[in-house]
Amino acid sequence: MSMEFLVEVNGKIYEISELVKSVSYTDKLNDGCSKLEFSYIDDDLNIQNGSVVRFKFNGANIFYGYVFKHGQNKAKEITVTAYDQLRYCKAKDTIVVKNDTIDSLVRKMCNYFGLRAGSLASTGYKLPVSVQDDKTWLDIIYSAIDDTLTNTGRWYCLRDEFGSIAVRDLQDLQLDLVLGDESFAYDYEYEKSIDDDFYNQIKIVSDNEDTGKRDVYITKDSDSIAKYGLLQYFEVLDKNYNPAQAKAKADALLQLYNREVETLELKCLGDVRVRAGSSFYGQIEDISLNKRLIVKSVTHEFIPVHTMSLEVML
């Protein structure tokens, strides 16, 4: 195990890997910036907000970001929280999205805040014209990602990769890695529920300009209703959908919601390649799991032994 832990304080760079007591790195899929929390013991080195932190583990680039919080106690243990560049994108703004794609929006954002941009996958999908008034840049881009997903079926993630902002197709983030019973995992928690976000009948109401009144569209899965009881989803569409579109929307919603929600959390030995958005092959015999899974969030702990806990999408 080798670590390289650099911090820049007042123009000087210090290597503190010998002093660090704990390091944890948290990353979430399309949900804000990634975060590095660490603590160290030292009399002389007073880290400051805004200091640059760079962390490498076994030669792999893990984190490059800026200190946003630090504190200490009587035992001279100093705790620090640092975020990556996306922290700066929480700022609100008003923009009009027109002839834009995800990558062009991200490029605008980087220019505006003076952030370093890295590899921006070109998505090729022109976003619908919209007004984004008084919204955070992150929300604007996440809603662009949602639009692109529903219209093209391609899923992208926005993240900071060691100091440069990147847009990646999740297809390109597949790892040749197996996690499960016999491979790296030492604990897991699994749950299957119909308590939240489960519906087997969809009822959609939409204004019809031709008839001058509201139309109702219902679609349902009778087998599922017999099994679980009737659970209805209701929505009034705000945009003008024509009958075919409304019907299609109801069918799509039924597809989406008519399945038991499964959640899985895994605790494994660490692998530096795993970030939110990457996918690996999951194998757990007891819950007959045998497929590729996307990481929703991950926390790496590097001291004393590199471990990680994952929340995945099933």
Partner 1 sequence: MINEIKEIVKNYLNNEKLCTFMLGTVVNDGIKVSDKLTIPMELVTGNQKSSLTTGQKVRLLRNHGGQQFYILEVISE
Residue 139 beta carbon to partner 1: minimum distance, rounded to whole angstroms:
7
Distances, alpha carbon 194 to alpha carbons 197, 198, 222, 228, in Å: 7, 5, 16, 8
Task: Give the nearer residue to partner 1 in terms of CB position, either 132 or 309.
Answer: 132
Residue 89 beta carbon to partner 1: minimum distance, rounded to whole angstroms:
16
Residue 12 beta carbon to partner 1: minimum distance, rounded to whole angstroms:
39
| Contact footprint for partner 1 (CB under 8 A) | 93-96, 98, 129-131, 133-135, 139, 238-239
Q: Cα separation of 263 and 311, whole Å?
A: 8
Task: Give the nearer residue to partner 1 in terms of CB position, either 26 or 130.
Answer: 130
Q: Cα separation of 282 and 181, whole Å?
A: 9
Residue 146 beta carbon to partner 1: minimum distance, rounded to whole angstroms:
14
Task: Give the nearer residue to partner 1 in terms of CB position, either 43 or 209.
Answer: 209
> Checking DSSP bridges between strand 117-120 and strand 92-97, what pairing results, if any?
unpaired
Task: Give the nearer residue to partner 1 in terms of CB position, either 196 or 238.
Answer: 238
Residue 99 beta carbon to partner 1: minimum distance, rounded to whole angstroms:
10
Task: Give the nearer residue to partner 1 in terms of CB position, either 131 or 226.
Answer: 131
Of the candidates 184, 166, 169, the one whose C-alpha atom is nearest the C-alpha of residue 308 is 184
